[in-house]
């Protein structure tokens, strides 16, 4: 991140994640939505782009996607040595319900993916495999219990998913979550939770995080694999339009109110989840993420559907403005 915004802040970030980084941002891997187009655009614009491995509906498709990402970013670097692309990341679901975990991990190993983001369970075997090829592992957590477990099992960094984050999210204040984590952990931290502006990125760093972890704002980009109606819902929505519920997947998450209403449900009277008995899709014909749209409380800052590069450029301007205001105060 030589000579670029926020470089002096990334003291705990390994050098492998600094190359080409123009803003201290990781684009959150968005289930169904993130794809090679979005990842490549994010990396070329100077943030870490990420996608879930399961967005590629079969392992051979994942291999094709990674081949394309690696090839296009290498071509970009050759053409623009003065401004190389940022690294990219792949999100792996390590829960036992994911039958593709080890196959997808092996594919990531062949491409030496720089950063693996793990979710729904820390896994020592996965962490060791990633480190063997020289990669790093960041694990997403919602509280201190999970954070300690992740580090004990070998995670290099933590993604703190605070209140207001899109999709599966925690309920703790980002101030509390970062403060308590920094009391014992000096490795890299990314903060997630309603960040959708450059000033929000600066605020995450001021609290003690190294990265802002931004997802919902990228749903409303031209490259994102989301429906036009979903993108417009992000543009039209505000924090009051976000509903926090465990009904749809058995895990608490944030969703757009309009998408819940569209399925004939009352967003203010959703029952508590019973994962052992509930089959929401069978009962209603709708599916979480596809029909019930995840989104975070920061969407009020999203006013247009833009190319990802234009959104990141806006973040950069706002970030520098915020830093100047702080330095002048």
Q: Which CATH number goes with the domain that contains 115? A: 3.20.20.70
Q: Residues 141, 265: one domain?
A: no
Please enumerate in sequence order all residues whose Cβ is within 8 A of that of 163, keeping only pairs 6 or more positions apart, or say none. Answer: 169, 170, 171, 172, 173, 174, 193, 194, 297
pLDDT at 12: 75
Please check whether residue 174 lies inside any domain of the structure: yes
pLDDT at 7: 45
Say if residue 6's pLDDT is above 70. Answer: no
Please check whether residue 290 lies inside any domain of the structure: no
Spatial distance between the Cα atoms of 279 and 237, rounded to a whole number of angstroms:
28
Q: Residues 97, 173: one domain?
A: yes
Each residue's pLDDT tens digit, 32-59: 999 999 999 999 999 999 999 999 999 9
Q: Residues 219, 264: one domain?
A: no
Both tokens assigned to 49: 């782009």
Q: Residues 74, 218: one domain?
A: yes
Say what the alpha-carbon torsion angle 29, 34, 40, 43 is, to the nearest 10 degrees.
-30
pLDDT at 3: 39
Please check whether residue 232 lies inside any domain of the structure: no
Say if residue 163's pLDDT is above 60. Answer: yes
pLDDT at 301: 98
Spatial distance between the Cα atoms of 161 and 238, rounded to a whole number of angstroms:
19
Q: Residues 164, 123: one domain?
A: yes
Q: Residues 156, 245: one domain?
A: no
What share of the chain in percent tops pLDDT 70? 93
Say if residue 308's pLDDT is above 90. Answer: yes
Handedness of CA 43, 113, 207, 328 (dihedral sign): negative
- Half-sphere CA count of 209, side-chain side, radius 13 A: 29
Please check whether residue 310 lies inside any domain of the structure: yes
Which residues constitute the domain of residue 264? 238-284
pLDDT at 288: 73
Please check whether residue 180 lies inside any domain of the structure: yes
Q: Residues 130, 177: one domain?
A: yes
- Count the domains in the chain: 2
pLDDT at 9: 54
Please, which pLDDT band fits residue 256 given cuts at 50, 70 and 90?
very high
Q: Residues 46, 101: one domain?
A: yes
Q: Residues 220, 242: one domain?
A: no
Say if residue 186's pLDDT is above 90. Answer: yes
Say if residue 96's pLDDT is above 90. Answer: no
Say what the alpha-carbon torsion angle 91, 97, 100, 101 is, to the nearest 10 degrees.
50
Please check whether residue 296 lies inside any domain of the structure: no
Please check whether residue 320 lies inside any domain of the structure: yes
């Amino acid at each position: 991140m030589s000579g670029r915004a926020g470089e002096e802040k990334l003291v705990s970030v390994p050098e492998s994640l600094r190359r080409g980084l123009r803003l201290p941002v990781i684009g959150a891997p968005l289930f169904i939505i993130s794809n090679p187009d979005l990842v490549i655009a994010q990396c070329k614009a100077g943030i870490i782009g990420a996608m879930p491995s399961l967005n590629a509906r079969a392992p051979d498709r994942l291999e094709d996607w990674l081949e394309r990402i690696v090839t296009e970013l290498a071509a970009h670097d050759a053409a623009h040595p003065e401004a190389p692309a940022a690294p990219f990341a792949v999100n792996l679901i390590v829960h036992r319900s994911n039958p593709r975990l080890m196959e997808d991990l092996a594919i990531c190993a062949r491409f030496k993916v720089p950063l693996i983001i793990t979710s729904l369970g820390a896994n020592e075997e996965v962490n060791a495999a990633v480190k063997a090829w020289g990669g790093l592992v960041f694990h997403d957590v919602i509280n201190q219990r999970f954070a300690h477990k992740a580090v004990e099992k070998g995670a290099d960094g933590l993604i703190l998913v605070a209140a207001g984050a899109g999709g599966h999210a925690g309920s703790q204040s980002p101030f509390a979550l970062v403060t308590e984590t920094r009391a014992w952990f000096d490795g890299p931290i990314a903060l997630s939770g309603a960040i959708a502006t450059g000033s929000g990125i600066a605020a995450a760093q001021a609290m003690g995080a190294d990265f802002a972890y931004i997802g919902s704002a990228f749903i409303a980009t031209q490259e994102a694999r989301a429906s036009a109606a979903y993108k417009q819902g992000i543009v039209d929505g505000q924090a009051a339009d976000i509903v926090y519920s465990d009904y749809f997947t058995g895990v608490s998450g944030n969703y757009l109110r309009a998408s819940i209403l569209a399925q004939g449900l009352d967003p203010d009277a959703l029952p508590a989840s019973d994962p052992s008995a509930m089959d929401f899709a069978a009962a209603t014909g709708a599916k979480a993420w596809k029909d019930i749209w995840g989104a975070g409380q920061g969407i009020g800052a999203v006013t247009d559907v833009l190319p990802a590069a234009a959104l990141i450029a806006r973040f950069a301007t706002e970030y520098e403005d915020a830093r100047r205001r702080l330095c002048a105060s």
